[in-house]
Structure 1
Amino acid sequence: MDDESSSRVSKEPVWSSWSSWSTCSQSCGGGTRTRSRHCPVSGACRGSSSDSPDDCNTQECPVWSSWNSWSMCSQSCGGGTRTRIRSCPVSGACRGSSSDSSDCNTQQCPVWSSWSSWSTCSQSCGGGTRTRIRSCPVSDACRGSSSDSPDDCNTQECPITWPMGTYGLLKPITGCPNQWAATGLLHQDTNNYVGGGHYNSRSSPHHVSGPYSKNNMVLPFCIKRVDIADSDDRSWPAGQYCIFRKGGSCPAGMTGGSVLWDDEDDENKNRNRGVLPDGIYSINTRIQFCCQTSGHTSNPIYLPTDKNFFLFKYTYKCQQVHGMRATSEYFFWDTENTGNDDEATGHHPYEGVVYDGIRLEFCYYEPI
């Protein structure tokens, strides 16, 4: 071979080494893999750049388990879906999907009835709610709720009425609360002996209706003796105050007591008329009271403000009432001097039995 021929042979391009085998096309059940090589000068090397496919992963594939039961349908009617699954003993080695789905309950849904009428409002005033319902001809088959969203009702402000029960108040010069038809009057013949230097007395100004003198005292009453229940009824609110008892027992939440006046023993002229608080009215006078003691005088309570009224003090302070101005007033009774039997028992108005007589304090309320 001459030099020219030798030079031509040595310059023919040569294939690179074969690459590594590719990943098998199947993980089981028989697949193929390939490998390739490249020529430094494209198209100049003799032969193919790809090797013949090589069989691989010829072992038998794992088999899916049986399908499990269908799941519950996603809808009870109107078309839903249900699913089922199966498992492979070798994760990722089984061919196909592990889950299946199917249409179900494609029948038309039952239809709700019309809404019922609204229920009675939960409150007669001050804001309540009412409800309404509907029914489904097939239990649990209708879509949505059987009850409507609560509707606001009776949002108007509540009228403030006198608390429920029967009871009495002192009668002011402006008259009794509206719709209280019963009134009464007690004339007490107090001590006539003036040697001790004590007389009946009262505060100034004074707003109790009726006359008064040094030796006689008149108490006028406003009596609520009919307890008509209605939707606005409520108990006496927590506070510290007293009222006259009427009807044999105190209103709910209040506790009772009494005050005994030892009136004039000589030629006693005690007398009364009309409707009186519970008590004993004879030569001496015992009146029954009901007191609220569970709150604080500084926390205002709600009572009607359309007319002036009195409340007895339970402590030395006036009970605060929304929308009303309170004026402190008092009565002092100069009771019998000889063998005096004045007495205050249980829960009674402030102050009770004092030296030489009885002093009761009360508060006059008028709109601000």
Structure 2
Amino acid sequence: MGVFYVWKAVLLLCFVSTISAVHWPDGTYTLIKSDAGCPSNWLEGWRFQDNENDNNKNKIDVGNYFFGITEQSPSNFNFSYCTKDPQDFSNGKKWPPGSYCIIRHGNACPGGFENGSIFWDDENDNNKNSAGGILPSGQFKQDTLINYCCRRDGKFSSPIELPTSQAFHLLKFIYPCQAVKGMSVKEIRVDFDDENDNNKNQVHEMHPVGSHPGKQDNTLIYCYYSPK
């Protein structure tokens, strides 16, 4: 009986050690901040986006798990961001093949990703856009432009390995949300009501699914991952 419990304890220790050894991939990049907060030692920032004033149709799925967002139809969006410190140690881990997007930070995407962007034509009248802290790559003035990194070099149904110690979001790209080992996943849709008059919304190259090239309003679909 004693040998059995020793063996069981060794297996548990090995399992915990394996989980704790999974680190975020090398490089610098940004994730949307979830209600679980940012990973330890990551840099934080925020963007208040002034959306259309007239008959505003902003909408976000219930149970979105974004930090600081509790309303289903907020008239403006205030998203917070987590950015991996460029000075963080290198562990040799690369982002695994799959079908998903992250948010770019810096001048280039991590290896294996292709670059793209989305431009939001925000409210023109009495625009109240503001931002602070460390932000993704893009432009955060009267209008908003964010750069993304997307890839489609693997099956969405083949689970990839990422840290499982706390919840996080990735962005959906073409197929259903990418499977992640040890994590449950839920799709979160965000509808933006952008400027009505002479709207200039644009998308370029490889961008997350849900946005509408040439359309007046943008949509994004996030994938929320929580430990099983």
One-letter code aligned to 1:223: T
Q: CA RMSD in A?
A: 1.6
- Which residue is 2:63 aligned to? 205
> Which residues of 2 match residues 132-171 of structure 1 at below 5 A?
157=18, 159-171=21-33
Matching residue of 1:56: none
Task: Give CA-to-partner distance per residue, 1:49-105, whole Å, 9 cap, x none.
Answer: xxxxxxxxxxxxxxxxxxxxxxxxxxxxxxxxxxxxxxxxxxxxxxxxxxxxxxxxx
* 1:318-333 aligned within 5 A: 318-333=177-192
Paired AA for residue 244 in structure 1: I
**Does residue 1:178 correspond to 2:37, yes or no?**
no
Contact 1:161–1:233 (Cα < 8 Å) also in 2: no
Q: Which runs of 4+ in 1 moved over 3 A?
A: 211-214, 227-230
Which of the two has greater helix per residue?
A: 2
TM-score with structure 1 setting the length: 0.54
Mapped to 1, the partners of 2:192 and 2:173 lie a distance apart of 18
CA contact (8 A) 1:177 1:309 kept: no
Report the secondary structure of 2:101's partner residue. strand
- Percent identity among equivalent residues? 37
Matched to 1:278, the amino acid is S
1:228 to 88, 104, 109: 88
Contact 1:270 1:283 survives alignment (8 Å): yes
| Deviation for aligned residue 1:214 | 3.7
Letter in 1 for 2:53: N
Shift of 1:161: 0.6
Counterpart secondary structure, 2:155: coil
Match of 1:192 among 38, 53, 56: 53
Q: 1:246-325 counterparts in 2 under 5 A?
A: 246-325=105-184
1:226, distance to aligned residue in structure 2 (A): 2.1
SS at match of 2:67: coil
Determine the C-alpha separation between the residues in 1 that align with 2:156 and 2:85.
27
Q: Does 1:237 align with 2:96?
A: yes
Structure 1 residues 218, 316: closer, same or farther in 2, change over 3 A?
farther
Superposed, 1:36-55 pairs within 5 Å as none
Q: CA deviation at 1:352?
A: 0.9
Contact 1:164/1:227 (8 A) holds in 2: no
Give the SS at the match of 1:238.
coil
Q: Which ranges of structure 1 fall in alignment gaps of 5 or more residues? A: 1-155
Confirm or deny: 8 A CA contact 1:261 1:342 kept in the other structure. yes
> d(CA) in 2 for partners of 1:292 and 1:228?
23
More relative contact order, 1 or 2 (CA 8 Å, 6+ apart): 2
Give the secondary-structure state (helix, strand or coil) at the position aligned to 1:330.
strand
Deviations 1:334-359 (A, max 9, x none): 00011111111111111112754110
Whole-angstrom distance in 1 between the partners of 2:222 and 2:175: 9
Task: Output one character per residue of 1:175-218: Cα deviation in whole Å (capped at 9) or x when no partner.
Answer: 112232x1111000000011xxx510001121011235542111
CA distance in 2, matches of 1:360, 1:344: 12
Measured against aligned partners, the alpha-carbon deviations of 1:310-366 in whole angstroms (never above 9, x if no partner) come to: 000012411000000001102111000111111111111111127541100011101
- Matched residue of 1:351: which SS? coil
Tell me, yes or no, if the aligned pair for 1:225 and 1:247 is still in contact at 8 Å.
no
1:248 is displaced (CA, Å) by 1.1
Cα deviation, residue 225, structure 1? 2.6
Question: CA separation in 2, counterparts of 1:282 and 1:175?
Answer: 26
- The number of residue pairs the alignment matches comes to 208
Letter of the 2:27 partner, please give it: G
Kept in 1, the 8 Å contact 2:201–2:216? The answer is: no
Cα distance, 1:227–1:348 mapped onto 2, change above 3 Å: farther
